[in-house]
Amino acid sequence: MLKNLVILGCASLQSLPRGLVHNGSKVITRCHLENLEILGCPSLRLFPTDELPAALKYLEIWDCNSIPEKLLQNNKSLEFIRIGNCKILKTLPRFLSTFEHLTEMHVNQCSSLEYFPDSGLPIHNLKTMLIANCDNLKSLPNRMHDLTSLQYLTVFGCSRIETFPEEGFPPNLLSLSIWGCKRVKLRFAMWRLHKLTSLKDLSVGDFDRDMVSFPEDSSIPPNLVHLRVQSLPELKFLSEGLLDLVSLEALDVWNCPKLRYLPKNGLPITLGVLRIRNCPLLEKECRGEKGAYWPIISLLPHVRINYADIL
């Protein structure tokens, strides 16, 4: 019985065979699809009976120009969906919110995507969401705060997003990565990240081209274990706020050409790993016994500068 199917590079394919769908007694078939990947089929317009196979758990649609609205109406088994490089797709199907068992969702390289459906996203079991390289996307989904199961959220390369949800990010996030959202006008301190008491991993960058000091007072939760700061061209100071991170174990600082200063009172005592990349002014102060910060970083178990371990 067929459970896995990959359709790749069929540029003229317009419809899939009816026998792919076996929902109840509608069709007698040897297909019981659980995994379906449709890649590089830009002419595809029709799915059999306008619905997905009832047992389908994994769906990937890549480089297909349209996704029929009815396609996502009645599926109750889907756990993973990836939609990518669908260049004329302006919004996602509104029935996404009905996927009760969906745990992971990726949306990537949909250059015409402007918004998510008003109906929102599945709120019951969604744990991982990635939104990447959607150049025209103007905002994140509505009611993100209701996604209480969401643990991993990545948003990058969405250059037209100007703000984030007023009610804040999902409250139980463990990992949050946001970078390349260059038009965000909301000051970092207003992101309300300090409310994310479960957050352990935070990666931010390329969003505030005027930021001089990071972090701003009480702007990030104190229980972080890993912090990455990158691509802030005017950043000069890592502030005393770092010392509030009482559980921090690893710190990455990348691509901050004007960064020169560490906190006056040193680094968190829990810090075990410091990685610095493409921050020439800070690198100079950290190298060798003559570096101003050598007495601080020499106490750390592991220090890496530009791919070379110095401790």
**118-160 confidence digits (pLDDT tens):** 777 777 899 999 999 999 998 888 788 889 999 999 999 999 9
pLDDT value of position 73? 65
* Strand locations in the chain (E): 2-8, 31-39, 58-62, 80-84, 104-108, 128-132, 152-156, 175-179, 201-205, 213-214, 226-230, 237-238, 250-254, 273-277, 302-305, 308-309
User: How does residue 258 score in pLDDT terms, banded at 50, 70 and 90?
Assistant: very high
Q: Which residue has the higher pLDDT, 276 or 91?
A: 276
- Mean pLDDT (the chain) is 87
User: How does residue 30 score in pLDDT terms, banded at 50, 70 and 90?
Assistant: low
**80-120 confidence digits (pLDDT tens):** 999 999 888 888 877 777 788 899 999 999 999 998 887 77
pLDDT value of position 152? 98
pLDDT value of position 27? 46
Residue 242 predicted with pLDDT over 90: yes
Q: Where are the domains of the chain?
A: 1-78, 86-186, 188-196+206-311
User: How does residue 28 score in pLDDT terms, banded at 50, 70 and 90?
Assistant: very low
Q: What integer is the mean pLDDT of 288-310? A: 92
User: How does residue 50 score in pLDDT terms, banded at 50, 70 and 90?
Assistant: low
**191-203 confidence digits (pLDDT tens):** 889 889 999 999 9
pLDDT value of position 46? 63
Out of 25-29, 95-99, 142-146, 161-165, pick the least confident. Answer: 25-29
Q: What integer is the mean pLDDT of 282-295? A: 90
The single residue listed with the structure tokens 């490089």 is 85
User: What token pair was written down for 67?
Assistant: 């996704």
pLDDT value of position 14? 84
> Is the overall model pTM greater than 0.85, yes or no?
yes
Residue 67 predicted with pLDDT over 80: no
pLDDT value of position 294? 94
User: Which one, of 117, 16, 127, 131, lies nearest residue 64 by Cα?
Assistant: 16
Cα-based angle 72, 76, 79 (whole degrees, multiple of 5): 85
Q: Are 236 and 257 in contact (CB under 8 A)?
A: no
Q: Which residue has the higher pLDDT, 22 or 182?
A: 182
> Cα-atom radius of gyration of the chain, to the nearest Å?
23
Quick check: helix, strand or coil at residue 36? strand
User: How does residue 257 score in pLDDT terms, banded at 50, 70 and 90?
Assistant: very high
